Amino acid sequence: MEIVHKADPNELKTMDPNKFTISVNGRKGLTPAESAKLGGSYNIFLQTSLPENVRLYNPDDETFESSQNLFRSIFLRGFAIEILHVYSGPPGIVYKFRHWGYMDAPFKGHAPTGQLIELFGIGTFELDKESNKIIKAEMFFDRGELLGGLVKGESNVASTCPFMK
């Protein structure tokens, strides 16, 4: 969770900021400095090769602050991460997770549904054998599970009032 809420790599307590890399869905591992340049966690986790005109969320247009504000406003009750199963222990940890919350506010012009939004994935951590700090994290998940749930609500549509046309 540190990587989500801390933009300054020097504030990381569970990770070694000098060795740490994170990769998502097999992409190149990023250092904390590279992650910060991309705008932080949501922008890392939602990277895509989709053409810009079809992106539901465009990490290239978001900053750390704007992405934090957006997702914190959508999930007013929080967006929890739950470890469902741990397959192996230190120094190489493999686990299955569920990230979930309720859509309480609009997303990019789509009305809130109040529905449960969740995504499932697999993650790995590699720990430094001496410090027990995380030096490598890999996450594998379908970003569409999150984004698809956020666009289920009605989108901004033209008014049906004859005087507003």
Asked, for residue 160, whether it belongs to a domain, the answer is no
CATH number at residue 119: 3.10.450.50
Q: What is residue 108's DSSP assignment?
A: T
pLDDT in tens, 3-50: 666 667 677 788 998 999 999 999 999 998 898 888 888 999 999 999
pLDDT in tens, 44-101: 999 999 999 999 999 999 998 999 899 999 999 999 999 999 999 899 999 999 999 9
Q: How many domains would you assign to the chain?
A: 1
Asked, for residue 93, whether it belongs to a domain, the answer is yes
What is the chain's length?
Answer: 165
Q: Long-range pairs for 113-120 at CB < 8 Å and ≥24 separation?
A: 113/149, 113/152, 113/153, 115/149, 115/152, 117/75, 117/146, 117/149, 117/150, 118/145, 118/149, 119/143, 119/145, 119/146, 120/84, 120/96, 120/145
Look at residue 124 and tell me whether its pLDDT is greater than 90. yes
Asked, for residue 130, whether it belongs to a domain, the answer is yes
Measured distance CA(161)–CA(141) in Å, rounded: 43
71-82 burial, b if ≥16 CB within 10 A, otherwise e?
beebbeeebeee
pTM, two decimal places: 0.84
Asked, for residue 158, whether it belongs to a domain, the answer is no
Asked, for residue 164, whether it belongs to a domain, the answer is no
pLDDT in tens, 97-116: 999 999 999 999 999 999 99
Asked, for residue 35, whether it belongs to a domain, the answer is yes
Asked, for residue 157, whether it belongs to a domain, the answer is no
If residue 4 lies in a helix (H) or strand (E), which one and from where to where? helix 2-5
Asked, for residue 106, whether it belongs to a domain, the answer is yes
The whole domain housing 92 covers 2-152
> What SS3 class is residue 110?
strand
Measured distance CA(8)–CA(36) in Å, rounded: 8
